[in-house]
Amino acid sequence: MHTPETSGVLLTECEDFSPALIFGCGQSFRFEQMEPGLYRGVALGRELTLAETPQGVRLHCTPQEYEAVWRAYFDMDLDYAAVRRAVAVTPFMGEAVDFGRGLRILRQDFWEAACSFLISQCNNIARIKGIVARLCERHGEAVSEKAHAFPSAGQVACLSETELRALGTGYRAPYLLAAARAVAEGRLSAAALNALPYAEAKRALMQTPGIGAKVADCILLYGLHRTDAFPVDVWMRRALAEHFPAGFDPAEFGPHAGIAQQYIFHYERHLYGKAV
């Protein structure tokens, strides 16, 4: 008989695994802190609880589920200590990666990322979370007593614009409907985009109404794990103007520029009191 204290999968190397940072850095919107050190959410149609312990972070799942699902989801096969060293190309970047040590880029579901970041445009993170929560509660399948999966593209494609507006999506409702149909009908797919180089994949995404340069980069980075994608939003624009006044090229950060972006984004929000 497994007790809650000993069951699950214990991650002991947690220098670069902080649930607070992973779920709080603005890349995903479905995990919450239940109490200090305890996090819960739904991803890939499964509910997961994570608990911080003195020995490390414990994932409440079987070793089989960890190997089959969560190992990839949490990008466990990338050495984030090496990434931090590689992108710390200025003193400011050194501060950013020190502050963000523990952050990782999740390998999220393509449709969930596309849908979430369509909602994100001209919106704040607290509000994005609320809209996504209502979308899942009302239109996603139950995965436990109180948790719901993210609705599939097919499920969202069956909703009316009125139902989507009722979630608080505002003018983004028709964008969501068009994207859901494109994905459900196979006109937009992770497999096809994965076969394209960055610039072409981005251009293909931008054919869908509501997906501009920034949302396309978010979908590439968070939904397809293209770590060369470098989303620039209002926070990044501020940070770059302030700390790279002479201009910059994302390529300076190397092949994982998108991860550098995440450290910058989170650090900049912290400096303005918007992130812990």
Partner DNA sequence: AGCCAGGACAAGT
Partner DNA sequence: ACTTGTCATGGC
Any idea which residues carry the catalytic annotation?
A: 214
Residue 95: CA count within 13 A, CB half-sphere: 11
- Out of 66, 80, 265, 267, point to the residue binding DNA (CB under 7 A): 265
Query: Does residue 270 touch DNA according to CB under 7 A?
Result: no
Query: Does residue 213 touch DNA according to CB under 7 A?
Result: yes
Decide: 71 and 77 in contact? Cβ < 8 Å: yes
Residue whose CB is less far from DNA, 108 or 152: 108
Query: Does residue 227 touch DNA according to CB under 7 A?
Result: no
Fill in the per-residue mask, 141 to 180: x = in contact with DNA (CB under 7 A), - = not in contact.
------------------------x--x-xx---------
- Out of 89, 196, 232, 271, point to the residue binding DNA (CB under 7 A): 232
Query: Does residue 24 touch DNA according to CB under 7 A?
Result: no
- Out of 33, 123, 155, 189, point to the residue binding DNA (CB under 7 A): 123
Alpha-carbon dihedral angle through residues 185, 207, 196, 155, given to the nearest 10 degrees: -30
Decide: 85 and 78 in contact? Cβ < 8 Å: no
Query: Does residue 206 touch DNA according to CB under 7 A?
Result: yes
Q: What distances in angstroms separate CA 146 from CA 125, 132, 142, 149, one per listed residue?
A: 22, 15, 7, 10
Query: Does residue 39 touch DNA according to CB under 7 A?
Result: no
Residue whose CB is less far from DNA, 102 or 130: 130
Please report, as a single letter, which amino acid is at residue 191.
A
Q: How far apart are CA 22 and CA 19, in angstroms?
A: 5
**Buried/exposed code over 87-105 (b: 16+ C-beta within 10 A; e: otherwise):** bbeeebbeebbebbbbbbb
Residue whose CB is less far from DNA, 9 or 25: 25
Query: Does residue 271 touch DNA according to CB under 7 A?
Result: no
Strand (E) or helix (H) holding 59: strand 56-59
Query: Does residue 126 touch DNA according to CB under 7 A?
Result: yes
Query: Does residue 274 touch DNA according to CB under 7 A?
Result: yes
Q: Three-state SS for 137?
A: helix
Name the residues that contact DNA, by CB under 7 A.
25-27, 117, 120-128, 130, 165, 168, 170-171, 206, 209-216, 218, 231-236, 261-262, 265, 269, 274
